[in-house]
Structure 1
Amino acid sequence: MLIALNKPYGALSQFTDRSQPPKPTLAGFGLPAGVYAAGRLDHDSEGLLLLTDDGTLAHRLTDPRHKQAKTYLVQVEGAPDEAQLRRLRDGVELNDGPTLPAQARAVAAPDWLWPRDPPVRFRKTVPDAWLELSIGEGRNRQVRRMTAAVGLPTLRLIRVAIGPHRLDGLAPGQWRAL
């Protein structure tokens, strides 16, 4: 079984939470018994999370050797120039080593996007822009660290695809079997 979930902002990519105060978890979305997340999204990231009851499938989806590209829409602070996009495409030096090359391009703000709760703080004097970024790795907070390294701090991060699997119209908190 393979399930696509649109993980909302603020929810954890796990079924339990022992923190105080507790955060929302996957247990609150009515998912079938026996599934678990194949990979994760940080609590402050949104979008596609795949869940499965098949360990072999989970490994294929998450192991970098299987080359499942992860595609994100990233709202960044600032207006990206070609040099910044080229640095993302070439790979960025992070404190844990260089990243692999990424696909990166500036895109228009998505017209299908749901409002975030809480909303991204608006600042009249600081422009923002949207990027589409595809990576083949999955390091901790990698996209946020990559955009910060090129001078474009991330304001909002939404995963829209993992390999051929896409978010495609799921509202936050909704899921479907694939």
Structure 2
Amino acid sequence: MKYILFNKPYGVLCQFTDNSSKQKRPLLKDYIPIPNVYPVGRLDLDSEGLLLLTDNGQLQNRLANPKFAHPRTYYVQVERIPDESALNRLRHGITIKNYLTRKAKVRILSEEPDFPPRIPPIRDRQNIPTCWLKITLTEGRNRQVRRMTAAVGFPTLRLVRVSLGSNSQQVNLTGLQPGQWRNLTSQEINMLLTFK
């Protein structure tokens, strides 16, 4: 079995082939020369960070299926600085397209994360401050984080998934620059295989 951790850069499509676009877009195969592995869940084209790939179909299904409620943590740069009311709305769930999101853990980061600059950079609006949130979800619906922050009036500018799992049991991006990948350690694999 193969288990790969990839730090997906901005603008990379979370698939190995692309027949839907006339414009050539960067794909997983441009970074990962390993055959027959598939992403566990997805990251949007404009999102960055942790992506697991494996050829273990059972694990892929268990980690991607919302019923198992595996925590996923994101660092999210938003436009302006949310007040406590907006943070509480995110924590208690937001209605998006007639669906109420599950409760989330949300807090403002005291320091900006030490990420390399995004290419291309986010738009810079001198008169509008930004801040970074740490958001942990137990579901991963399409563009959920972006829709949640927009719904409370603080649009997402940059989104980076940084870990999968809880604080005591997690796989994270430590040591991987955007575009880099590595095989999971045996300890990380065992942890993933025992996730409930």
TM-score by length of 2: 0.88
**Shift >6 Å, 4+ stretches:** none
> Helix, strand or coil for the counterpart of 2:91?
helix
Once the two structures are TM-superposed, the CA of residue 31 in structure 1 deviates from its matched residue by 3.3
Please give the alpha-carbon distance, in whole angstroms, between the structure 2 residues aligned to 1:16 and 1:115.
27
Tell me which residue corresponds to 1:109.
Answer: 112
Tell me which residue corresponds to 1:170.
Answer: 176
Indicate which of 150, 153, 167 corresponds to 2:152. Answer: 150
Give the count of matched residue pairs.
177
Tell me which residue corresponds to 1:21.
Answer: 23
Once the two structures are TM-superposed, the CA of residue 17 in structure 1 deviates from its matched residue by 1.2
Equivalent position amino acid for 2:116 in 1: W
Structure 2: where are the runs of 5+ without partners?
A: 185-196
**What percent identity do the matched residue pairs reach?**
53
> Helix, strand or coil for the counterpart of 2:85?
helix
Once the two structures are TM-superposed, the CA of residue 96 in structure 1 deviates from its matched residue by 3.5
TM-superposition CA deviations, 1:64-116 (whole Å, max 9, x none)? 12221110000000111111111111111111411000000000211x21110
Structure 1: where are the runs of 5+ without partners?
A: none
Please give the alpha-carbon distance, in whole angstroms, between the structure 2 residues aligned to 1:102 and 1:119.
28
Query: How large is the Cα RMSD of the aligned pairs?
Result: 0.9
Equivalent position amino acid for 2:3 in 1: L
Alignment of 1:80-99 (within 5 A): 80-99=82-101
TM-score by length of 1: 0.97
